[in-house]
Structure 1
Amino acid sequence: MSIKQTIVQQALPLIKPGMVVGFGGGSTVAELVKEAANLVNEIQVVTPSPTTRQLATVLGYTVIDPQYCDRVDIAFDGCDQLNTHGSALKSGGGIHANEKIIATLADEYWLLTVSSRLVQTTFDTKTPLVLEVLPKALALVMRTISEHGGQPTIRTATNRDGMTLTDNGNFLIDCHFPSYEHLAALNNDFATLAGVVETSYFDRLVTNALLGDETTGKVEQLF
């Protein structure tokens, strides 16, 4: 059994009949969606991920739109990095604005990831802070990132000419900084900047995490 499958087996008992369950993006969550199919008629699903939504629909789950959902019992997601205070950096999928809505709606927000992505306090700068930005605010945000000592890069599409657009029709800016020592304060500056829809830093939103050790095959909870 792979470490991904072991993590999923640990997560399955957390899902109970009658729940509204949030499933994020990524391969581990996709595996959980498949493994939870015995509850397909007993839970409702909400997801920020078009890929996960398609999978859940094909499997027969009742999928509800987040705009009509005012509470989620439990949600599962992945991350790029996680610290011991329950904060996380997410950047790869570019759906963090919609992910954060579901994380905030959820009574419990669990991350499923490998233990090598856990940092004690300060995040590794190899993972960018990603901003979802209204198109009209592009120049303002790019200038502000530079003024904060960051190097901004507009994310471009891989399968067509032009910029990557989010499901909300906005741009993604990957921000690289020399240090994340004061990430919470930095994040707050961008989160309150006109035109920034959301950031990829999840400040103490994580209830718990299942961390799989790829060497030993063991899975441990963060808290």
Structure 2
Amino acid sequence: MDVEELKKLVAREALKFIEDDMVIGLGTGSTTAYFIRYLGQMIERGQLEDVYGVPTSHQARLLALEHGIPVVSLDEVDAIDVAVDGADEVDPSLNLIKGRGAALTMEKIIEYRAGTFVVLVDEGKLVEYLGKKMPVPIEVIPAAWKAIKEELEIFNARAELRMGIRKDGPVVTENGNFILDAWFERIDDPLDMEIELNTIPGVVENGIFADIADIVLVGTRDGVKRLER
């Protein structure tokens, strides 16, 4: 199976966590897009009733509406039963790096509040330590990006302003901010690093998700492997 097939495999497996009368946090990214599509199919077939989605981004919202999932905002619900999202890296303690889709702030807000946070990845996302393959996305106030980039040198990090691919200039988040991608030599204490980064003035949020994932579904050539905290 190629990577896309592995993504579909874990997306289908995540449906087992969804029941009637649930509020579901809908993550952002290619793997979660498959989950949203399959969830919409179940609703259309009458296999699920009274299910509502809380999207983490415009992308997730548009996909949910396209596939017939009723959408509500965070302030319209009392609780989120399950959140489903992907990740860019997963370490052995199930700490994550997320944010390649630039929706990390709302993802963290919603997934932190979920009763169960289910992460969907293929086996290539498993790493020995965070920062091995991917940078840490950091959402920053535009006026402060250069000062924050210099501040990150204290952490021996090399940061780059993320530039748009199909637009001129930097990527702008849905909150109107910029993204710095920070490369660290390695991150041995993700929780401490997550907290430290958020103390830098001008930082809105960072892409380290420590001690938040409950279940990680890993797509492998031998099927889905389930990891739990």
Judge same fold: TM > 0.5, yes or no: yes
TM-aligned CA deviation for residue 86 of structure 1: 2.3
Give the SS at the match of 1:147. helix
Q: Name the TM-score, length of structure 1 as normaliser.
A: 0.91
Mark the CA change 1:179 to 1:5 in structure 2 (over 3 Å): closer, same or farther: closer
Matches within 5 A, 1:1-223: 2-37=5-40, 38-39=42-43, 41-120=49-128, 122-213=129-220, 215-216=221-222, 218-223=223-228
What is the CA RMSD across the aligned residues, in angstroms? 1.7
1:16-64, Cα deviation, whole Å (9 max, x unpaired):
0100011111222111112122226520101112122111112222101
Bigger mean CA offset, 61-70 vs 75-84: 61-70
Partners of 2:30 and 2:134 in 1: how far apart?
19
Aligned partner of residue 60 in structure 2, secondary structure? helix
In percent, how many aligned pairs have the same letter?
A: 28
Per-residue CA shift, 1:64-118, capped at 9, x if unaligned?
1224334200010000111222210013111111100111110000001112312
Where do 5+ consecutive residues of structure 2 fail to align?
none
In the aligned structure 2, how far is the partner of 1:138 from the partner of 1:107? Answer: 34
SS in 1 for 2:14: helix
Contact 1:91/1:127 (8 A) holds in 2: no
Preserved CA contact (<8 Å) 2:131 2:184 = no
- CA distance in 2 between partners of 1:109 and 1:81 (Å): 15
Which residue identity lines up with residue 194 of structure 2 in the other structure? N
The one-letter code matched in structure 2 to 1:203 is: A
Q: Deviations over 1:105-164 (max 9, x none)?
A: 1000000111231234x2243210111011232233112112221111111111222111
State the secondary structure of the residue aligned to 2:149. helix
- How far apart in 2 are the matches of 1:83 and 1:139? 30
Deviating beyond 4 angstroms after TM superposition, the runs of 4 or more aligned structure 1 residues are none
- Which structure 1 segments of 5+ residues have no match? none
Letter in 2 for 1:48: T
* One-letter code aligned to 1:27: S
- Taking the aligned partners of 1:205 and 1:15, their CA distance within structure 2 comes to 19
TM-score normalised by the chain length of structure 2: 0.89
Letter in 1 for 2:112: T
Amino acid at match of 2:90: L
**What is the rounded CA distance, in whole Å, between the counterparts of 1:72 and 1:160 in structure 2?**
35
